[in-house]
Amino acid sequence: MRTAFFRTLQQLAEQDSRIQLIIGDLGFGVVEPFAQRLPKQYLNCGIAEQNMAGIAAGMALSDKIVFIYSIANFPVLRCLEQLRNDICYHNSNVKIVSVGGGLSYGPLGMTHHATEDLAITRVLPGMMVVAPSDPWETAEATRALALHQGPAYLRLGRAGERLLSPPGARFALGKAIRVREGTDLSLISTGTMLETTLQVAERLATRGIHARVLSMHTLKPLDEESVLNAARETQAVVTIEEHSCVGGLGGAVAELLAESGLRRIRFKRCALPSAFISLVGSQEYLRAQYGLSEDGILNTIAPLLRGLRLGKDVATERLVSAKSSGKQ
């Protein structure tokens, strides 16, 4: 994903001199082509993320489109005050790019775990929050964010993510992509959990359970229409994210459903606990330890699965029920 980001950003910057890249002294294997090709549009601030955010805000106020880039939670947590006061308060045209979302840097311990970043950036006024699932969504999101006026957060995986987007898919900020059709339940994924989510859907299919899969690449603004359609047209909604259970995708969807007025909604979050992760290991290992493997997700949603009425048209059933009670 980071390769797709840098390749796309370089293409855009070659066409628009306003685009600037500022890094925090890292990623030279993928950054060097941009720096060598466009030295006047590139700046290494060193390990000084707060300064990086302040410089970016100033450049944006001088009609630049600025992308700042660093590992995991450093461009968020270390310079949160600058994001809030310098960037968001002034509606500065700065895009904060975080590489290694979730547990990508698992072997480096909790200081490198980006497990609260979606919640923190979601709450910042004016901040758009985007977490693509694969290289194609990453490239499309980079193009869209370069055109978007205002602050945005772009959360990337570390490396090696496979192409998952369906042929003919269309990308738009704030609009989920329906990756798989299904009428029994809906699995809504964000970021790099999409591959695991699709694997879960495949295993459910072998049991005669047809799961709709949505790639919710934009958390803010949330695609409310897709979520509400999922709640109306399927019997349960499940969110899946490599993030704390507090304030991320699950929180956003729960808030929407709670205020929607829809009745008999069955909902479950698959996410990390709101706790510091003390274990050390690979991303795959840590996901398994905290219930985000295929088996872990299936175990978490097992109570929902036991209550499914397979083959039922839930949307029609609810409409008939509403008419019989005089509520349409």
Domain locations in the chain as residue ranges:
2-156, 177-311
The whole-chain average pLDDT of the chain stands at 93
Rounded to an integer, the average pLDDT of 267-294 is 96
β 128-130/218-220 pair status: antiparallel
This prediction has a pTM of 0.93
| Confidence class for position 325, pLDDT limits 50, 70, 90 | low
The answer to whether the CB of 298 falls within 8 A of the CB of 200 is yes
| pLDDT tops 90 at residue 309 | no
Question: Is 27 in a helix, a strand, or coil?
Answer: coil
| Confidence class for position 72, pLDDT limits 50, 70, 90 | confident
Percentage helix, strand, coil for the chain under 3-state DSSP, each rounded to 5: 45, 20, 35
Rounded to an integer, the average pLDDT of 227-251 is 97
- The answer to whether the 2-156 and 177-311 domains have the same CATH topology is yes
What was the pLDDT predicted at 105? 92
Give pLDDT tens digits for 23-71. Answer: 999 877 889 999 999 999 999 999 999 999 999 999 999 999 999 999 9
What was the pLDDT predicted at 328? 46
| Confidence class for position 326, pLDDT limits 50, 70, 90 | low
| Confidence class for position 302, pLDDT limits 50, 70, 90 | very high
Pick the CATH number of 2-156 from 3.90.1150.10, 3.30.420.40, 3.90.79.10, 3.40.50.970: 3.40.50.970
What was the pLDDT predicted at 317? 54
| Confidence class for position 240, pLDDT limits 50, 70, 90 | very high
| pLDDT tops 70 at residue 323 | no
Rounded to an integer, the average pLDDT of 87-96 is 98
> Which residues are CB-contacts of 195 (< 8 A; sequence separation ≥ 6)?
133, 134, 161, 162, 164
| Confidence class for position 315, pLDDT limits 50, 70, 90 | low
Q: What top-level class would CATH report for the domain 177-311?
A: alpha beta
| pLDDT tops 80 at residue 21 | yes
| Confidence class for position 285, pLDDT limits 50, 70, 90 | very high
The packing angle between helices 2-15 and 28-37, to 10°, is 10
The answer to whether the CB of 96 falls within 8 A of the CB of 102 is no
